[in-house]
Amino acid sequence: MTGVGHEEPPPPRGPLSGVRVLELAGLAPGPFAGMMLADHGAEVLRVDRVAAVAAAGDTPRTDVMDRGKRTIGLDLKSPDGVAAFKDLAAAADVVIEVFRPGVAERLGIGPDDLRAVNPRLVYGRLTGWGQDGPLARTAGHDIDYIAVSGVLSMLGRAGEPPTPPINILGDFAGGGLMLAYGVLLALFERERTGRGTVIDAAMVDGAAALFAMFYNSANTGLWGPRGTNLLDTGAPMYDTYETADGGHLAVGALEGPFWAELLERTGLTGLPSRADPANWPAIRERLAETFRTRTRAEWQEIFEGSDACVSPVLSLAEAPHHPHNKARGTFIEVAGVTQPSPSPRLGGSPPASPAPATRLHDLTTWGLDASRADTLRAAGVLA
């Protein structure tokens, strides 16, 4: 584990070893994209506000999404700070920014500004609405982006308002993960063309893309109103149920053999045919009554090793201790914080264990010599 104030970059590891990323500090989706790249070997330099970095000192950050990164503070409202950032960009492969459209240009660090000093630079832009369109310059949050994409209309139970699934679909899956994917595409393209490109990653676009299968199903008449379908709590064989101790079980016994095993292990008999949706309410009631007769742990033991597709609904505190997660190393501890391991895994190797974020003092390998860095620090431009 990297020590306090450690200057050396981590040893080369992963397919992105040698790729340098400048990540402009911002809300969670941007750091998440940077984390995905750092987890697989990229050297990520996080550029934050001077005051924030100075206040933190050399204490490693414990924020999960900053793991494996190094941090500096830079005043991008200062001409000297902008000039320094351009020098850093000249030594980088990728820049990630999460500003509203036009902000980077006003600061003098937009795509044209930086690619003028580094034509090979991949410039990743992540916003909610995208770089153009009627909503591009308006405020929004995950809930707005998935609402306009059509995704939110599909989430929730029948007869109830749409239910936002925390900010996972817009911010992280449709945003940060899509940006990281875009960076990889752009780097691959650069190998053929020799030039970088600009990535316009919009959460509204990404969320819509995630639901491609469901748009197809809706267009072909295979998907009905919210909460009435096979996978959206409409069907009793794909839902959650409360247990005797207030815990919950997740049931996903869709296929015939899985359903048969569920019935065998619960002892349920005499149920109407599940092939007819008209019978679903009665089946759900019987299942609910049955699952309430035992605790979650008791049901977990009953279904252990079975193909009934019944699993305990674990809390964030419980999940790292589940035997399967422990065997896989699905969770690790970094700087005393339990967190998910890097994913996916390549070549069958176990997941890497990233170091906590550290503050970077020596910027010579990024194009800033020591004397210039000292001058910038004395002026309050660099931290």
Mean pLDDT of 275-302: 98
Q: Which amino acid is at 198?
A: V
Q: Is the pLDDT of residue 280 over 70?
A: yes
Each residue of 232-255: pLDDT tens digit? 999 999 999 999 999 999 999 999
3-state secondary structure of 95: strand
pLDDT band at 331 (very low <50, low <70, confident <90, very high): very high
Q: Are 211 and 150 in contact (CB under 8 A)?
A: yes
Mean of pLDDT values over 357-376: 95
The rounded mean pLDDT for the chain is 94
Return the pLDDT at 11.
Answer: 53
246: burial class by Cβ within 10 Å (0-12, 13-18, 19+)? exposed
Query: Band of the pLDDT at 313, cuts 50, 70, 90?
Result: very high
Lowest mean pLDDT among 84-93, 137-146, 196-205, 338-347: 338-347
Residues marked as catalytic: 141, 171
List the CATH code of the domain at 239-321.
3.30.1540.10
The answer to whether 89 touches 121, Cβ cutoff 8 Å, is: yes
User: Within 10 Å of residue 263's Cβ, how many Cβ atoms?
Assistant: 16
Say yes or no to pLDDT of 12 above 90: no
Taking CA atoms, 322 is separated from 315, 328, 330, 350, in Å, by 11, 10, 10, 18
CB 18 within 8 A of CB 12: yes
Domain range annotation of the chain: 20-212+335-379, 239-321
Give the ranges where 194-344 is alpha helix by DSSP (H).
203-210, 212-219, 256-266, 280-291, 296-303, 323-328
Q: Give the pLDDT confidence score for residue 350 in this predicted structure.
A: 73
Cis check: omega of the bond before 354, within 30 degrees of 0? no
Q: Is the pLDDT of residue 2 over 70?
A: no
Q: What's the mean pLDDT in 272-299?
A: 98
What's the topology of domain 20-212+335-379?
Rossmann fold (3.40.50)
Q: What percentage of residues in the chain have a pLDDT greater than 90?
A: 89
